[in-house]
Amino acid sequence: MSGIRWVLHVDLDQFIAAVEVLRRPELAGKPVIVGGRGDPTERAVVSTASYEARAFGVGSGMPLRIAARKVPDAVILPVDQEAYLAASETVMAVLRSQPGATVQVLGWDEAFVGVEAENPEAYARQMQAAVLERTQLHCSVGIGDTLVRAKNATGFGKPAGVSRLTAANWLEVMGGRPTKDLWGVGTRVSARLAKLGINTVAELAAADPQGLVPEFGPKMGPWYAELGRGDGASVVDDTPWVARGHSRETTFQRDLTEPGQVDDAVRELAARVLEDVAAEGRPVIGLTLKVRYAPFITRTHARKIPGTFDRDEILARAVDLAAGIEADRPVRLLGLRAEMAMPDDARKGHTPTRGGW
């Protein structure tokens, strides 16, 4: 295959909801909400919602009880991670089977595809048809000359469409949009940019990268300016993704109010995280404890630690972090993340402390 090298961003439409509808065809066209154990009386959040449910304002991360209130006749289903993983793996296999494709997986429901093509739109539609035929799942495809432009283009093609953003039309299409519409910016960073008088993508594109350094630092400041221009990497990297860490979290159906309850919960979380980390064979170099107090105030406590495989030491340090939890405040959620040394660290002379799982 010959032609220009393109980046395609493939995003499965309402993926989790679509997988559930495939398993239950009678749900087609109905508002479907997936989250937690499927019980809106429990504390849980929406993992995804069908387009029919989204029309009522339901979105990912919304408390399940609020979603149920917005759509009283919605079908609410429990999360089934194994089913979604299986569907995702099939989709990624289809993408890899496309002529000349280099595939970089971003998650269950999205991937970048690098391809050389004279007509990238035709290639994208061929790819959509292959995914649909093999899995009965629809996807949208963004076409770009960089990863950033391809990723942002996808939203203009939803659902099940194809859209292209390049250096030639980037500012024409994106320039007047708020900075939060950019991949990698979001609401908080957008608010910080607004303090600097930068509200649109065009204004961010025109910003002096060094002028952003006082607010965002020497790396992130120039990077945000680059995002505004849609610039950046243009090569899809199919190197297998390596997790930097593993995390677990639990939302309690009843607030924890006693120190003993919190201690037990942290120990249980640590045990689950350590099971995940054990399979990686890499030392733990940092821990982060996430605490959500009632009604909905979140705090994090993080600490770097000397690289170690020692299970007891990691547990002890997790318990130490829990000492920062305010004793007189009810706790509704706890999460623990263990950060691991990356494979390259060992070659750079990282020496973990001794110990064993």
Would you please indicate which residues are annotated as catalytic (active-site) residues?
A: 110
The number of angstroms, rounded, from the C-alpha of 78 to the middle of its chain's C-alpha atoms is: 20
Backbone angles phi, psi at 273, to 5 degrees: -65, -40
Find out whether 49 and 94 touch, Cβ atoms under 8 Å: no
Tokens of 216: 């965002």
d(C-alpha 355, C-alpha 314), whole Å: 11
d(C-alpha 22, C-alpha 16), whole Å: 10
Least Cα distance to 263 among 288, 297, 289, 300 occurs for: 289
| Amino acid letter, 351 | T
d(C-alpha 145, C-alpha 158), whole Å: 19
For 84, the enclosing helix (H) or strand (E) is helix 81-96
Q: Long-range contacts made by residues 327-331, C-beta under 8 angstroms, separation at least 24?
A: 327/259, 329/293, 329/294, 330/255, 330/256, 330/257, 330/293, 330/294, 331/252, 331/255, 331/256, 331/257, 331/262, 331/265, 331/291, 331/292, 331/293, 331/294
Backbone angles phi, psi at 352, to 5 degrees: -75, 160
Tokens of 343: 């494979």
DSSP structure string for 2-40 = -SEEEEEEEEETTHHHHHHHHH-GGGTTS-EEE-TTS-T
Find out whether 293 and 330 touch, Cβ atoms under 8 Å: yes
CA dihedral 311, 315, 321, 326 (to 10 degrees): 170
